A = this chain, B = another copy of it.
Amino acid sequence: MSARRPDHEETNGNNLRARRVALDTHDQLVVITRRDSPVCRSEGFSAHARVRLQSGERRIIATLYQIDSELLEADEIALSESAWERLQVEEGDLVHIAHPQPLDSLGLVRGRIYGHVLGREEMHRIIADIAAGRYADIHLSMFLTIMAARPPDDDELIHLTEAMVNAGDRLRWKRQLIADKHCVGGLPGNRTTPLVVAMVTACGLWMPKTSSRAITSPAGTADTMETMAPVDLDLEQMRAVVEKEGGCIAWGGAMRLSPVDDMLIRVARLMDLDAEGQMVASVLSKKVAAGSTHLVLDLPVGPTAKVRSQEEAEELSRRLHSVANAFGLKLRVLITDGSEPVGRGIGPALEARDLLAVLRNDADHPVDLRRRAVRLAGALLELTGTAGEGRGEAMAESTLDDGQAWKKFQAICAAQGGLREPPLAARRHDMSAVGAGEVVSIDNRRLARVAKLAGAPAAAAAGLEIHVKLGDHVETGQALYTIHAETAGELNYAREFAETNGIIKLA
């Protein structure tokens, strides 16, 4: 009944009826046919082949599996939920199946591996093919690996950023001046964005913030924000929130802002790889696509942060400025202390609790988190000319003191769909000091790993709560941090790792 006909030139009998089987493959696009399906035999498809599917105007590239059983009819094709959504079919719709076109741009990636630098046109071809879903995960892994191993030069990085911007939508706002901030991450608990948005929008700026979910960390800003309000806004919803309140904290992936960035981030997460060049293109393509004009960037440096030395930070800052300039984006980079976690919580809900304590001026709010947020908001107020040089921090801080930032945050949450309290995990376990002494080092990376093993960010309430800071004196048996998890399996898994690794060192 609702069956759609593929384009005329595509109709050559290679059509199968779509069947929904409620198969969740996460973001992998998977389809299944009978091995003895006439279409597969005539086209010579074998299992694990990449195939091109078309229904109406929609096209996807998917991985084909084959089944020898009566669970499917010979003229049916089962689609994973991800494929079902991307192809926008209904039960019984005709789906055209064909070989994908040869992936010529992969030859450019191979050339890059062997030392060739990519020109503008070449980079755009690669990114356009990625955007069209024509790269399998192993091809994305090739691209990410070589861009990490042999970092792009400034021109190549500008091409990459531009290609990523062009592959998606680009927002236009009713204001000339659009503020933005970003943190390169690597510092657990450094969740300043919602505070900065609340402060600067309380001062009258527009700050339509799109944030990502975690890449390799236990929580991204979008993950944290989602425990307090919906973040999965489409473009029109986001526009409405911003026009009403001046700001928002939305998940960028729900929009088509630099969608290639999301595809690369997904694979980079599986690879557990963060590379500088990719990071610059990732951050700036999102900002340019989001229509930002003024950006403050938090760059924490510490022995176990993402950026480990002052030199590395300065080189990264130079690259960010070089690319930002090419797009007319005003940038200020703040190199900050990344030697220990910020606040107390690590994990979406636990970090949200810290944020709420700052906004509500709770007596026991995490002072370091507030301090960092004020510094960033102050820099943004100065960069945009809202405050004079040296006066930004005071202006920002006053919005916390007088409750304007909290009021604004509540209004933004309400506009996004309603403020809610972050959840609390079902299971907890204290990791205690085996001896007494002074805290001399905290391994951010391993702490992040414990939080991830505990289930963060997929389990929003999972993560950990840290009870000590560098320099604190602790007694034997005193709790250093508490692991939060939703399931016994994850709690044990995190404990096992925590117990065999000296994450917080005493002396």
Chain A residues proximal to chain B, CB less than 8 Å: 14, 21-28, 30, 32, 35, 41-44, 46-48, 65-69, 71, 80, 99, 102, 106, 110, 113-114, 136-142, 145-146, 148-150, 267, 270-273, 449, 453, 455, 458-459, 485-490, 493, 497
Name the distance in Å between A100's Cβ and chain B's nearest Cβ. 11
Q: Is the pair A28, B48 in contact by a Cβ cutoff of 8 Å?
A: yes
Q: Is the pair A21, B69 in contact by a Cβ cutoff of 8 Å?
A: yes
Residues of chain B lying within 8 A (CB to CB) of residue A267: 138
Q: Is the pair A486, B44 in contact by a Cβ cutoff of 8 Å?
A: yes
The complex is assembled from copies of this chain, and their number is: 2
- Complex Cα spacing A497 to B486, Å: 54
Given contacts A113-B145, A145-B113, A272-B106, contact A67 B487 (CB under 8 A): no
- Complex Cα spacing A67 to B449, Å: 29
Given contacts A35-B24, A145-B141, A149-B150, contact A41 B487 (CB under 8 A): yes
- Complex Cα spacing A148 to B112, Å: 11
Q: Is the pair A148, B270 in contact by a Cβ cutoff of 8 Å?
A: no
Q: Is the pair B21, A67 in contact by a Cβ cutoff of 8 Å?
A: yes
Residues of chain B lying within 8 A (CB to CB) of residue A27: 48
User: Pick the contact of A67 from B24, B68, B150, B455 — CB < 8 Å?
Assistant: B24
Given contacts A48-B28, A65-B25, A149-B113, contact A99 B43 (CB under 8 A): no
Q: Is the pair A42, B137 in contact by a Cβ cutoff of 8 Å?
A: no
- Complex Cα spacing A65 to B65, Å: 13
- Complex Cα spacing A162 to B476, Å: 48
User: Pick the contact of A272 from B22, B68, B69, B110 — CB < 8 Å?
Assistant: B110
- Complex Cα spacing A25 to B64, Å: 8
Q: Is the pair B113, A42 in contact by a Cβ cutoff of 8 Å?
A: no
Residues of chain B lying within 8 A (CB to CB) of residue A137: 137-138, 141
- Show 15 A/B contacts (Cβ-Cβ < 8 Å), sorted by A: A24-B35, A26-B48, A41-B487, A42-B488, A43-B487, A44-B485, A99-B489, A102-B453, A137-B138, A138-B140, A138-B271, A139-B271, A145-B146, A149-B150, A150-B150
Residue of B nearest to A103 (CB): B272
Q: Is the pair A32, B23 in contact by a Cβ cutoff of 8 Å?
A: yes
- Complex Cα spacing A101 to B11, Å: 49
Q: Is the pair B455, A142 in contact by a Cβ cutoff of 8 Å?
A: no
By secondary structure, the A interface counts as mixed
Name the distance in Å between A361's Cβ and chain B's nearest Cβ. 35
Residues of chain B lying within 8 A (CB to CB) of residue A24: 35, 47, 65-68
Residue of B nearest to A142 (CB): B145
Q: Is the pair B46, A487 in contact by a Cβ cutoff of 8 Å?
A: no
- Complex Cα spacing A35 to B24, Å: 8
Residues of chain B lying within 8 A (CB to CB) of residue A22: 67-69
Name the distance in Å between A272's Cβ and chain B's nearest Cβ. 6
- Complex Cα spacing A95 to B14, Å: 39
Q: Is the pair A110, B67 in contact by a Cβ cutoff of 8 Å?
A: no
- Complex Cα spacing A166 to B136, Å: 31
- Complex Cα spacing A394 to B463, Å: 75
- The 4 lowest CB-CB distance pairs between A and B, nearest first, are A26-B48, A141-B141, A43-B489, A22-B68
Residues of chain B lying within 8 A (CB to CB) of residue A30: 65
- Complex Cα spacing A449 to B32, Å: 27
- Complex Cα spacing A22 to B110, Å: 36
Name the distance in Å between A324's Cβ and chain B's nearest Cβ. 25
Residue of B nearest to A487 (CB): B44
Q: Is the pair B48, A25 in contact by a Cβ cutoff of 8 Å?
A: yes
Residues of chain B lying within 8 A (CB to CB) of residue A113: 145, 148-149, 273
Name the distance in Å between A462's Cβ and chain B's nearest Cβ. 8
Name the distance in Å between A106's Cβ and chain B's nearest Cβ. 6
- Complex Cα spacing A138 to B143, Å: 11
Interface centre among A138, A271, A458 (most CB of B within 10 A): A138
Residues of chain B lying within 8 A (CB to CB) of residue A149: 113-114, 145-146, 149-150
Residue of B nearest to A140 (CB): B138
Residues of chain B lying within 8 A (CB to CB) of residue A21: 67, 69, 71
- Complex Cα spacing A288 to B225, Å: 57
Q: Is the pair A273, B142 in contact by a Cβ cutoff of 8 Å?
A: yes
